[in-house]
Amino acid sequence: MSDSVKQGFDTLKIHAGYTPAEHQGSIQVPIYQSTAFEIGSPERAERLLRFEEFGLLYTRVGNPTQAALEQRVAALDGGVAAVSLASGMAAVSYAILNAGENGRVIAAGQIYGGTYDAYRKVYPSLGVQIDTVADINDLDAVRRLIKPDTRAIFIESVNNPVNVIADVEALANLAHENGLPLIVDNTLATPYLWKPIEYGADVVVYSATKALSGHGSIIGGIIVEAGNGFNWLAGRHPHFAEKVFTFGNRNVVETFPAFPFAARVRTYYLGLLGATLSPFDAYLIIQGIETLSERLKKQSESAQTIAEYLSKHPKVSWVSYPTLPGNRYKALAEKYLPKGAGGVFSFGYRGDEREIYRFLNSVKMFSYHANLGDARSLIINSPHTTHHELTEEEKIATGIPPETVRLSIGLEDVNDLIADLEQAFASAES
């Protein structure tokens, strides 16, 4: 990969992590639909199982189609290693658990609904307590939450659904001053719009279901390790220092010095909890990534146009698109998102719930379903669907009041999308 990191993003998204000559000259990454791989000899099995030699054994923990995807995304993000997983939730959960084991994680309160639900329902019972911070850019509030057993900070770069933009560089500095890694869910931005590792993030996670794959065809997730020298043995992560019998009585950092975080996710969480990405789905994500830049560029441009249209509409009380004049996050968007702010944002519908339902029932081109970053444009009332698990107070606190309508702008003609919204506003009022 040392050659490929010098290449441009659009070259990497087509070529990184895959060499046809190593796969019968196949131009496309083949789908290795195989449960297991020939080991060769019992002596080699011993070397593989002690991690003295690296090789394929069993698709639950590694497969050549997954590997091509992992290396490609690591190259796009500027990381050193990645682990592909069966869903974005698996990526979020494995990253939080792997960093936070038997300790605490400070995490953004304004976050994807599933992640918020897991903060309360799953991570504490697995030994990780979550300390949420209401405004992730309030650095003093984050600092006040740091305790002796705090092990990581977890944020979204661009939050779903109201586009809070995290000051990743400031948060990475704060984290590192305190011996903590910064974990960033970069699902909405994708590495095309924003590479958090360039600003100090130590681990980046994705729901590949969304814009990374971009065609509404799979569920998948990825964890990328930055390899920027974070010291897992400085004291806050005793589980990284533990001598492990299956690593030949070495710790994970001694065994995998270049990518201990990814290696530990793979050998512990993927190996033992088992959210494996199917090789076929890995292949489909690779197809999607080939057009990542083109899709995100167009979606950002169309979203900007639609956000401007909505911001002038009498039935709209607010629009969360960060590059609009007066938006609270405009300066951060200018710093971190110079290529555009992506295709997802929300707006407030000026009208009662019955009118919002009539509006949602009237759109014809926007599809009413729960996904993001698809080639098709989507619309959804987040408070009742993607974020339904939050209480009414939590919805207000996380910036998702009842009138919130979320859009994910696809690849259709922007004029047709505006015409669809216009006719839906008219039908909802009448």
Ligand X SMILES: *Cc1c(COP(=O)(O)O)cnc(C)c1O
> Footprint of ligand X on this chain (CB under 6 A)?
87-89, 92, 112, 114-115, 156, 160, 185, 187-188, 207, 209-210, 219, 221, 372
Least distance CB 309 / ligand X (angstroms): 24
The secondary structure of residue 184, as a DSSP letter, is: E
User: Cα angle at 225 between 114 and 232, to 5 degrees?
Assistant: 100
- Alpha carbon 414 to its chain's center: 26
Which of 160, 207, 185 has the alpha carbon at shortest distance from 399? 160
Least distance CB 88 / ligand X (angstroms): 2
User: Cα angle at 48 between 47 and 53, to 5 degrees?
Assistant: 75
Q: Which C-beta is closer to ligand X: that of 184 or that of 424?
A: 184
Q: Which C-beta is closer to ligand X: that of 189 or that of 421?
A: 189
10, burial (CB in 10 Å: exposed 0-12, middle 13-18, buried 19+): middle
Which tokens sit at 406?
A: 């979320």
Least distance CB 186 / ligand X (angstroms): 8
Helices (H), 58-145: 64-77, 88-100, 113-121, 139-144
Q: Which C-beta is closer to ligand X: that of 114 or that of 260?
A: 114
Does residue 157 contact residue 336 with C-beta atoms inside 8 Å?
Answer: yes
List for the chain the helix, strand, coil content (%; round to 5).
40, 15, 45
Name the residue with the smallest CB distance to ligand X: 88
Least distance CB 188 / ligand X (angstroms): 6
Least distance CB 114 / ligand X (angstroms): 5
Q: Which C-beta is closer to ligand X: that of 79 or that of 220?
A: 220
Q: Which C-beta is closer to ligand X: that of 282 or that of 372?
A: 372
Q: Which C-beta is closer to ligand X: that of 72 or that of 210?
A: 210
Least distance CB 375 / ligand X (angstroms): 16
